[in-house]
Amino acid sequence: MIANTHGPEQEVRQRILSQGPITFAEFHRIALYWPRGGYYNGAGPFGAAGDFYTAPLAHPAFGALLMVQLRHMWQILGEPNPFWIIEPGAGVGRMAEDILRAAEAFAPEMYETLRYVAIEPHPASCAPGPLQWLRSAGLPLRGVRGCILANELLDAFPVHRVHMRNGELREIFVTLDEAGTLVELDGEPSTPALAERFEALNITLPNDYRTEVNLELRPWLEAAAAALGSGYLLLFDYGHEARDFYGAARASGTLRCYYRHTLNANPLRHVGKQDISVHVEFSSVRNIAVSLGLVEMGFALQAEFLANLGLDDFRKDIEQRRGLPSQVRDANLWAMDTLVREDGMGSFKVAAFGKSVPQHPLQGFSPGLKSQERVAAPLTTPAHMPAPDFGPSEMELPSWEELLR
């Protein structure tokens, strides 16, 4: 098949030559997911050797605290057996391993009921055990009683790019110039859904405003709602409510590229070799989820969510643990703090939705609902850290902290 004979940039060029300019969303999908050489099908983008860290890679406390929340969900649902945890976009499976390890150690009665399914188009493993891998790009499941858990997944969906020019909404396409270089081209919107998104949000963009629209949200949320029988959808991602996402501070959009630890804003270079990431617009996530019959169960900053689940107890546990070498103690405390830094992961958003569940508050969104059951803090080694700093940007851009505002 042609998909197995060439890389993403050649595929982009062939499509443009055969059918004319393509939407940025089509380009974005090829650059990230093309079977041969797409960014997420290449050599490990995550961790110290990759372009970025996610919360599970920063410290296993993230997975252990999620286990606390998942146990609470399990209890609210009446301790079903089995209790399914479905993780689309599971990457290398680090979060799944941390959740299962914590459950086995501190919630054995729950652990016996767990069925954990990690979903990836190209699974990292297919070994037997409580963690099962499903090869899929979607959510081909039904009747799930448990939780669908997605960490930094929505930001990797292909997006359309738009430009407000002379009071008219235009779409940004990708094409080739006379020299054969990939360039942008303004055109009529490829779908009325772009304008409809702004109408639904009651937002009018000012002139010369460029931004992104994620039309993949609805089909993915439809699949998640259809997969759930009775349970929860728990989402972690960096992003903003619509009023901030489309505010004056982001007149050039939120799209950023990461290439060899270098931040830039040119997605048309290094095709397939750099991440192309966009912040999540959570107002549309909420509106679509509710329209599908899901009930909003909570919305918070990641720092607040993890604090409600007991992160401070984890820190105290490590600070007071006898016989722990100072290097190990300090490295673990530092790594835990990266999960809740105000200028970093702590400002990520956590959104929860329920389907056919009791109207019971969830612990991660309820400061006064602390569990009485004690969970010891997991440890990692100093070799696991620190997360790499980004090198110099290829052009003038806000700092990483400013990008997460």
Does residue 303 contact residue 365 with C-beta atoms inside 8 Å? no
pLDDT digits (tens, 9 = 90+) for 289-298: 999 999 999 9
Span 217-261, pLDDT tens digits: 999 999 999 999 999 999 999 999 999 999 999 999 999 999 887
Q: Compute the average pLDDT of residues 70-88.
A: 97
Q: How confident is the model at residue 191 (pLDDT cuts 50, 70, 90)?
A: very high
**Cis preceding-peptide flag for 386 (omega within 30 of 0):** yes
> Residue 399 burial (CB < 10 Å; 0-12/13-18/19+)?
exposed
pTM, rounded to two decimals: 0.90
CA distances (Å), origin 220, targets 95, 284, 285, 298: 21, 13, 10, 20
Lowest mean pLDDT among 36-40, 49-53, 196-200, 288-292: 49-53
Report pLDDT for 387: 41
Share of the chain above pLDDT 70, in %: 87
Predicted confidence (pLDDT) at residue 51 exceeds the cutoff of 90? no
pLDDT digits (tens, 9 = 90+) for 166-181: 999 999 999 999 999 9
Q: Is the pLDDT of residue 149 over 60?
A: yes
For the domain made up of 44-159+214-403, give the CATH fold: Rossmann fold (3.40.50)
Contact 297, 362 (CB under 8 A): yes
Mean pLDDT of 96-118: 96
Mean local confidence (pLDDT), 132-149: 94
Res 402 pLDDT > 60: no
With a cut of 70, say whether residue 388 has pLDDT above it.
Answer: no
pLDDT of 47 > 70? The answer is no
Span 306-356, pLDDT tens digits: 999 999 999 999 999 999 999 999 999 999 999 999 999 999 999 999 999
Whether the predicted pLDDT of 49 surpasses 60: no
